[in-house]
Structure 1
Amino acid sequence: MASEENMTFKLYQNRANLFVKEYLLADSLIPYTSIISGMLVCKMVFDLTQLIGSNYFKIYSSFSKVQRIEWNNRAASTTHAIFITTISLYFVFCSNLFWDSHSPEFITVRSSSLSTFALGASVGYFVSDLGMILWFFPSLGGYEYVIHHLLSLVAVAYAMFSGEGQLYTFMVLISETTTPGINLRWYLDVAGMKKSRAYLINGIVIFIAWLVARILLFIYMFYHVYLHFHQVEQMQPFGQILVVAVPVVLSVMNLVWFAKIIKGLRKTLAKRQ
């Protein structure tokens, strides 16, 4: 009896693996299945966070409708940030896919099934989050968030569908490493913990993470583009614009936000003296 159950289980397992390999992860379908997967995960995390908040956090019931939505939405944002940061760090610093000596092919046109799927999942998140921001505008973020998400969405989608510039897309996406700290800061704020030690430590971590991931890493990326500009020039014109223009615009926004972070951190430290 047990052997029959094992055989049945293995049969279904083989069929599932075959379905994933030949359909969900088929090269021609990866962009679409990954986008849908990203959107479904966002929805799942949103609903799960709502369920947990309603049953385990007393403060959740005292929130307004918009605050509850933002609470749930930031959980999805944090989940995406952890996922895409991990994948981006792997491709930029660990994987040999984009190493100069790995292949005679230009690094600007290299891609893999995994890299394309990861970018597609990120596109799914940006579509979902941008939809939420526009639906509840400006409660979940102002025009700067709309601009940021639109630029990110276009750049990531282009890299996913065309296979061009994926290395630089992952470099930019590493900046998502600051998102969990920003979201935690909001959670601590609405929980009335602005004067807590955790709030102060979180502010310091945000400062360091922002400096490394959104300032120094962008400088490194621009230097990398400069060294490989002869390869960037072989990309499609629209791809060339995205590789140069999008990071420049995001860098300006990052500097503006960084100035606000410094101002807020100084204000917090001054209150504790």
Structure 2
Amino acid sequence: MGRTIDTVTFDPSYYPAAVVSCMVFLYLYKYTSPNLSSKFAPKYTSLTEVEQIDWNTRFNSTIHATFVSCMCVYSLIYDEDISKEPIWADSPMVRTSCAIVVGYMTCDILIMTIHYKKIGEAFYFFHHGASMYAYFYVMTYGVLPYFANFRLMAEFSTPFVNQRWFLDKLKYSKTSKIFMLNGLAMTITFFFVRIAVMPTYWKRVYSVIGTESFKRLGHISLVLVITCFILDSINLFWFYKMCQGVKRVLKIYAKKNMELMNNHVSIEKEE
């Protein structure tokens, strides 16, 4: 008989990685981001206190997303066990990734709690709580490595989302080339890593439901279904908001081009 959630040993050996992750991101937020940002983006110093707090949290978010998503791609390519046994394969790489995520989100929650009146949003507490609940089980018990790794690859879109915010605060025009290109990359990446993959993910979930391995999960099976359903609902909401933003930018861009064309026609007539 295979392992069950009741017989799997409680394993806190990845907790130190989560603690180190939290401390590192707190340091990045407090010291690294302000120092580097003021040096390479002078306009950072002219931002309001709230904007600087938000900037520093997004700096953390970008570092975290880039690092973790690369780890996930490595696991997907080289860790064949998680594809063969998506529920019970013990993957140190995936568990480490989850520990880093838990540490990062703990740091983010601490920052949002301290500055709740300035940047706190209940929505993000809910999102982080749902994510940490799921990754806690992966980190602690080594279950669901394939699905955890699959979900974390969604972080590929995060740097582009943050970059859009940075460009906006640096006063780049929404119709500038760099703003438009980043927006295009953000929307395409978000769609492919968070929206388009939903059928593939849920097809794999459906393929394991009812199997012996799935039954041995016990109550943790709820993590696989309910938590991920909540996160996908949030992703759909974000994508809707993103599409609305793209629509607004395209309208501005079209209006700007129309005005340029009209001015050009007027000049030709005068000549």
TM-score over 0.5 (shorter chain): yes
The CA deviation string for residues 144-186 of structure 1, in whole angstroms up to 9 with x for no partner, is 2111111111111111101111211111111111110111011
The CA deviation string for residues 99-135 of structure 1, in whole angstroms up to 9 with x for no partner, is 32xxxxx430112333222211111001111221232
The CA deviation string for residues 48-95 of structure 1, in whole angstroms up to 9 with x for no partner, is 111122344321221122211221111111111011111112223442
C-alpha change, 1:235 and 1:128, in structure 2 (3 Å) is: farther
**2: CA distance, partners of 1:216 / 1:138:** 36
C-alpha change, 1:77 and 1:232, in structure 2 (3 Å) is: farther
**1: CA distance, partners of 2:212 / 2:107:** 33
How many residues are matched? 242
C-alpha change, 1:33 and 1:66, in structure 2 (3 Å) is: same
Q: Give the aligned residue type for 1:184.
A: Q
TM-score normalised according to structure 2 size: 0.83
Matched, 1:197 2:177: yes
Unaligned runs of 5+ in 1: 1-26, 101-105
Matched, 1:43 2:43: no
- Which shows bigger deviation, 163-172 or 89-98? 89-98
Whether the aligned pair in 2 keeps the contact of 1:225 and 1:232 (CA below 8 Å) is no
Q: Map 1:132-147; keep pairs closer than 5 Å.
A: 132-137=111-116, 139-140=118-119, 142-147=121-126
**1: CA distance, partners of 2:198 / 2:103:** 24
User: Which secondary structure state, in structure 2, belongs to the residue aligned with residue 241 of structure 1?
Assistant: helix
**2: CA distance, partners of 1:266 / 1:78:** 25
Matched, 1:164 2:178: no
Q: Map 1:82-231; keep pairs closer than 5 Å.
A: 82-100=66-84, 106-137=85-116, 139-140=118-119, 142-195=121-174, 196-229=176-209, 230-231=211-212
Q: Give the aligned residue type for 1:60.
A: Y
Seq. identity, %: 24
**2: CA distance, partners of 1:148 / 1:232:** 28
Offset of 1:138 from its aligned partner?
5.5
What is the aligned-residue RMSD (CA, Å)? 1.9
Q: Give the aligned residue type for 2:14.
A: P
Offset of 1:197 from its aligned partner?
1.3
* Bigger relative CO (Cα 8 Å, ≥ 6 apart): 2
Unaligned runs of 5+ in 2: 1-9, 255-271
Residue of structure 1 equivalent to 2:4: none
TM-score normalised according to structure 1 size: 0.82
Residue of structure 1 equivalent to 2:6: none
